[in-house]
Amino acid sequence: MKTFSDLELKPWIIRQLTGIGLKHPTPIQENCIPKIIEGRDCIGAAKTGSGKTLVFALPILHKLCEDPYGIYALVLTPTRELAFQIGDSFAVIGRAINLRQSIIVGGMDMVAQGAELAKKLNLTTGVIHGTETGSDHLESCNTFSLKQIKFLVLDEADRLLGGAFDGQIKTIFSALPQQKQTLMFSATITDTLEKVKQVAKNEVFMWEQKDDII
Ligand code: ADP
Ligand code: MG
């Protein structure tokens, strides 16, 4: 059985994982994390509870600590609960490197969120999470730049793409640099994700967990 150390993650990440009792990667973690560290775009699918959050959080933190500047990653999710949960996962591992992150969601006090973002403009290291309803903030905040991001993550991508959120997602995409790694996760590979893979500029590593049929 593989351990997280076999995935070539930085020793400080292994220490944080050990601290929260995690030693063995789940199948999607074992298969996708090395490819993401290599620099590949990735579409990963496995059912709820398979540990998909760490599939993107660990490689992002691994790379971010090598090259920390600017807003490093943008993680889009369909619900605010998910945005906060993902923020918690980044915080648990990222506290070892004083990770700073912002969680941007819709339906919250615009003034307070604006102030929060302004405070974080001079991020040396950062991850922004946002839901599609937070895209108003993302769209209107010309003051901070998404032009330097290295990673775009669409969590629960099947719910973000090919539906009502397409317009907002497109607007956000257009604010992002061409050069970046794109990571998408979902419970199953949908037609939309197949299409995304086909039209992608880079060769996408696609991995789906097939549950054994008994
Ligand atoms: P998903 O996004 O696939 O639904 P999550 O990332 O929310 O799954 O993780 C589900 C739970 O599994 C979380 O409580 C998380 O801490 C735990 N978990 C993640 N990776 C591992 C692992 N390698 N070993 C044990 N538990 C894990
Ligand atoms: Mg998840």
Residue-wise burial string across 41-62, b where 16 or more C-beta atoms lie within 10 A, e elsewhere: bbbbbbeeebbbbbbbbbbbbb
User: In this structure, what DSSP letter does residue 209 have?
Assistant: P
The pLDDT tens digits of the residues spanning 54-99 come to 999 999 999 988 876 666 888 888 887 888 899 899 999 999 988 8
pLDDT at 172 over 90: no
Q: Which helix (H) or strand (E) holds 43?
A: strand 41-45
Q: What is the mean pLDDT of the chain?
A: 82
- The residue with greater pLDDT, 136 or 27, is 27
Give me the pLDDT at residue 143, please: 40
* Cα–Cα dist 183/125, whole Å: 19
Q: For tokens 């993680």, what's the residue?
A: 75
The pLDDT tens digits of the residues spanning 114-132 come to 666 555 543 334 455 555 5
Q: Which residue has the CA at smallest separation from atom 5 of ligand 1?
A: 51
Quick one: which of 119, 180, 108 has its CA closest to 148?
180
Pocket test for ligand 1, best of 22, 81, 208 (most atoms within 8 A of CB): 22
* Cα–Cα dist 107/182, whole Å: 27
pLDDT-derived band of residue 214, with 50, 70 and 90 as boundaries? low
- The residue with greater pLDDT, 177 or 144, is 177
- Dihedral of alpha carbons 29, 32, 38, 40, sign: negative
What number is the ipTM of this complex?
0.99
Q: How far apart are the first and last CA of the chain?
A: 22
* Cα–Cα dist 185/183, whole Å: 7
Ligand nearest to the CA of 78: 2
How many other CB atoms sit within 10 Å of the CB of residue 209?
16
- Residue 73 identity (one-letter amino acid): A
Give me the pLDDT at residue 120, please: 54
Give me the pLDDT at residue 130, please: 55
Give me the pLDDT at residue 175, please: 77
Give me the pLDDT at residue 3, please: 97
pLDDT-derived band of residue 208, with 50, 70 and 90 as boundaries? very high
Give me the pLDDT at residue 119, please: 57
pLDDT at 7 over 90: yes
Ligand nearest to the CA of 83: 2
pLDDT at 13 over 60: yes
Check if 114 has its Cβ closer than 6 Å to any atom of ligand 1.
Answer: no
